[in-house]
Amino acid sequence: MLKIIIFGIVIVLLCLAGLGIYKITKPHRSVAGAETAATITAEKLYTEFAQAEDKANAKWVGKVIEVSGVISSVSEAENYISISLATSGQGGINCSFSRKEMGAADKFKKGDPITIKGKCTGFLMDVNMVDCVTLK
């Protein structure tokens, strides 16, 4: 009877280890093929977060959205490119791109109109979006 219990525990541990390895090594899912929850302007999105952050968090965080606006800045880090969209408030929309998804950042210039699709992660001086792709 003890052997059966030990065997069952070993099988459960092996299954959990396999699930953990799968979760760690599974490929990154791009939002390019994901269904868009809404299309909104950068100004409207920022205003919603600035006026009522709790309501905006419930409405937008974790959702894939398309945001249209004008580029206020482009910056590069090691594997990421960040594009900020201008708003009339003190902050903006910060969109993070993987260098693999985007290529060269020099094709984007301050003042250019753009539409970006990404996953909203919340508000911290700026509205933050990750896993972004450009649409226009």
Instruction: Work out how many domains the chain is built from and give that number.
Output: 1
- Supply the pLDDT for residue 24: 84
Please check whether residue 59 lies inside any domain of the structure. yes
Q: Tens digit of pLDDT for each residue in 16-64?
A: 998 888 888 876 667 777 888 889 999 999 999 999 989 999 999 999 9
Domain that holds residue 121: 31-134
pTM equals: 0.74
79 vs 60, 75, 101, 103, CA distance in Å?
A: 26, 11, 10, 10
Which CATH number goes with the domain that contains 85?
A: 2.40.50.140
Please check whether residue 124 lies inside any domain of the structure. yes
Torsion sign over Cα 123, 23, 131, 103: positive
Q: Tens digit of pLDDT for each residue in 79-110?
A: 888 899 998 878 899 998 887 766 555 578 88
pLDDT over 90 (residue 68): yes
Please, which contacts does 74-77 make with residues 24 or more away whose CB atoms are closer than 8 Å? 74/105, 74/108, 74/109, 74/110, 75/105, 76/105
